[in-house]
């Protein structure tokens, strides 16, 4: 089981299960489309089948992955991201953009029209415009309540 | 030591060390400004000092954190993000935005002018405009070579 950090911060709450080894790489591979278990053991070269199975179940529990049986005998399943799972794309891309820029990767993320590297930005759907990084702030969500969490002292988000 | 995934993908290369437990929360806390070791043990309630020390050293090795001694006797250090470390802000925010939206957190990330939730977007600095998610693609970087990595079979990025 993943270990909760006992913090109210949404970064900590996300990382409690997304931060486990292999999980975000699994999401990365499913962002390309549905995959069978054996496709995933191939693309995630080195993952133990029991670990992969555990990660998939956990993502299913969190509504990030859905499972569809494509064979009854023997039971064989295909996995796909749900809508909330697909919304993890910016997380995966932000990691990829940073890695491509700073770890000397031979892969990069580009604008398909001009071929230049893209950056992560912020957008306000209400104002319909891009928002500079220093005009984003964290705020307590009015009327929004956290889902139940362990009782360890929570600390606020700081990013 | 963090375990490399043996993949050329920049997401996998980033996660090899950023994916370790506590590391991105440590980055989150340093995004607010320099911190002393004891500040970090307080904000990262539950982290073992040996683990925190190990994570800080690793981040220093990767040029993400810099260390400044503020007392010689006894030796006491303050930690700050370097420029490349500060560029992890979008990674931390993307996790926070997703968590705030999907895990019922009481914190959210808003546009300071209007108070509405922001979204992650992409920007092409060359074209000076926002790029829709489906106009971002991964591409092999011309002339860019990966830093040395373990010899296990590498697979391409797919996000």
The token pair that represents B130 in the structure block:
């926002």
Kindly list the distances between the CA atom of residue A75 and the CA atoms of A47, A71, A78, B42, B46, in Å, as whole numbers in the listed order. Answer: 21, 5, 10, 49, 42
Taking an 8 Å cut-off on Cβ atoms, the answer to whether B136 and A94 are in contact is: no
pLDDT for B101 beyond 70: yes
Task: Tell whether B101 is covered by a domain.
Answer: yes
Min Cα separation B128/chain A (Å):
10
Residue B153 is predicted with a pLDDT of 44
CA distance A59 to A81: 9
- Reported confidence tier of residue B16, pLDDT bands at 50, 70, 90: very high
Task: Tell whether B150 is covered by a domain.
Answer: no
pLDDT for A80 beyond 80: yes
Taking an 8 Å cut-off on Cβ atoms, the answer to whether A103 and B13 are in contact is: yes
- The 8-class DSSP code of residue A117 comes to B
| Cα–Cα nearest to A158, from A136, A128, A130, A129 | A136
Phi/psi at B90 (nearest 5 deg)? Answer: -60, -30
- Reported confidence tier of residue A127, pLDDT bands at 50, 70, 90: very high
pLDDT for B148 beyond 70: no
Task: State the complex-level ipTM.
Answer: 0.87
Task: Tell whether B144 is covered by a domain.
Answer: no
Task: Tell whether B4 is covered by a domain.
Answer: no
For B101, the closest chain A residue by CA position comes to: A10
Contact A88, B103 (CB under 8 A): no
**pLDDT tens figures, B37-56:** 999 999 999 999 999 999 99
- What pTM does this model have? 0.87
pLDDT for A141 beyond 70: yes
Please state, for a pLDDT cut of 70, what percent of chain B lies above it: 87
Q: Give mean pLDDT, residues A40-66.
A: 96
- Choose from B121, B133, B147, B149 for mutation: most chain A CBs within 10 A: B121
Residue A97 vs residue A142, higher pLDDT: A97
How many domains does chain B divide into? Answer: 1
Report cis status (omega within 30 of 0) of the bond before A74.
Answer: yes
pLDDT for A152 beyond 50: no
Taking an 8 Å cut-off on Cβ atoms, the answer to whether B45 and A6 are in contact is: yes
pLDDT for B85 beyond 70: yes
Task: Tell whether B30 is covered by a domain.
Answer: yes
Residue B158 is predicted with a pLDDT of 47
Range of the domain at B64: 10-135
Taking an 8 Å cut-off on Cβ atoms, the answer to whether A45 and B155 are in contact is: yes
CA distance B86 to B64: 8
pLDDT for B151 beyond 60: no
Task: Tell whether A151 is covered by a domain.
Answer: no
pLDDT for A140 beyond 60: yes
Residues whose CB falls within 8 Å of the CB of residue B98, separated by 6 or more in sequence, listed in order: A10, A14, A87, A88, A90, A91
- Reported confidence tier of residue A143, pLDDT bands at 50, 70, 90: low
- Within 10 A of B113 (CB to CB), how many other CB atoms are there? 12
Task: Tell whether A153 is covered by a domain.
Answer: no
The token pair that represents B49 in the structure block:
């000092």
Task: Tell whether B151 is covered by a domain.
Answer: no
Min Cα separation A15/chain B (Å):
8
Min Cα separation B98/chain A (Å):
7
Min Cα separation A33/chain B (Å):
10
- Choose from A59, A88, A96, A154 for mutation: most chain B CBs within 10 A: A96
Enumerate helices (H) and strands (E) in chain B, giving the number of each: 6, 7
- Within 10 A of B141 (CB to CB), how many other CB atoms are there? 18
For B62, the closest chain A residue by CA position comes to: A103
Residue B140 is predicted with a pLDDT of 85
CATH classification of the domain holding B120: 1.10.10.10
Burial class (CB in 10 A: 0-12, 13-18, 19+), A4: middle
């Amino acid at each position: 089981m993943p270990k909760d950090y006992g913090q109210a911060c949404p970064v900590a709450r996300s990382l409690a299960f997304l931060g486990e080894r292999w999980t975000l790489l699994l999401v990365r591979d499913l962002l390309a489309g549905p995959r069978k278990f054996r496709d995933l053991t191939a693309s995630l070269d080195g993952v133990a089948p029991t670990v992969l199975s555990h990660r998939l179940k956990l993502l299913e529990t969190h509504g990030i992955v859905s499972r569809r049986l494509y064979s009854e005998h023997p039971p064989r399943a295909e996995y796909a991201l749900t809508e909330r799972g697909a919304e993890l794309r910016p997380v995966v891309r932000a990691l990829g953009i940073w890695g491509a820029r700073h770890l000397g990767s031979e892969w990069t993320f580009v604008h398909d029209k001009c071929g230049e590297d893209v950056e992560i930005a912020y957008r306000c759907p209400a104002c319909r415009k891009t928002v500079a990084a220093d005009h984003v702030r964290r705020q307590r969500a009015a009327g929004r309540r956290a889902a139940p969490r362990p009782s360890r002292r929570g600390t606020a988000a700081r990013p």
